[in-house]
Amino acid sequence: MLDLIYCELLKLKRSKMLPLSILGALATPIMMALEALQTHFKYPERIFTLNDIYDNSLLYAMLLMNIMVFAAITAYLFSREYTENTLKTILPVPIPRAGLVIGKFLTLFLWSIMLTIVTWTGSLILSGIYHVIFGLSGFYITIALQWLLKLLLGGVLMFLTISPYAFLAERSKGLVVPMITSAVMVMGSAALCNQDFGALYPWTATYFLVKGRMESTGYPISLAIAIIILVSVMGFYATFHYFKKEDLK
């Protein structure tokens, strides 16, 4: 399995997707920094804290930027064998097809965690620069580490909800359908992020769980987790099942 992951990582060396995904993960910290600067000059009396920066970063990352970045990565990993015509060289290899799919999913998981750390690090560095120039209340590494755990939990939950995009990438053999679908999901997240019903929407429920907002919605935490797991299992099963039936053409 490690060899399969290593092979997937080797493929990334020639791809522009890795640097592009890193830029996408840095979009949230950059937006937070720009928003902090704008607010500072417009309302200089307002006090910012590192906790505020990370709180807003979690919102943007889980409901907007990172979900689209993760969807793009998923679509890329699971469609490249079709778009680059390498499927005919992979299927004859004496490796179980399930192993090939698992290797891609594990690569996707590692990639997602790496980008989550990039988002956290970018927020910490830009907040540090802001702190040196303007001053930032509550700038403590202990607070940053607490938010790292929350962001990592968010990254794991987001990984569970992107398995359907893998199936869409295989089924459509391209990037377009998964990306359009992810855009629709993001619009749904934006519409439901302030609604109690968002606890039942998988791509918003992940954010509610990390933020600890489930209790205020009136829905049990177990229900949100069950919905996320259901969506995840359906996506994983559909991906494995479709690739298992795939044949050379």
Contact criterion met (CB below 8 Å) for 93 and 185: no
* pLDDT exceeds cutoff 70 at 135: yes
- Torsion angle of the four alpha carbons 195, 197, 203, 204, in this order, in degrees rounded to the nearest 10: 30
Contact criterion met (CB below 8 Å) for 25 and 123: no
Give residue 65's pLDDT. Answer: 84
Q: Which of 3-17, 77-91, 154-168 has the highest mean pLDDT?
A: 154-168
Rg over CA atoms, the chain: 19
94 — pLDDT class (breaks 50, 70, 90) = low
* pLDDT exceeds cutoff 70 at 88: no
Please report where in the chains the tokens 């609604």 appear, as a residue. Answer: 195
Q: Count Cβ atoms below 10 Å from residue 160 Cβ, excluding itself.
A: 18
* pLDDT exceeds cutoff 60 at 72: yes
Return the minimum-mean-pLDDT range out of 145-149, 234-238, 239-243. Answer: 239-243
Q: What is the DSSP letter of 48?
A: P
CA distance 73 to 56: 24
Amino acid at 123: S
> pLDDT tens, 100-112?
888 899 999 999 9
CA distance 170 to 242: 8
Contact criterion met (CB below 8 Å) for 24 and 61: no
SS3 194: coil
Please report where in the chains the tokens 């778009």 appear, as a residue. Answer: 83
> For the whole model, what pTM was predicted?
0.89
Give residue 83's pLDDT. Answer: 74
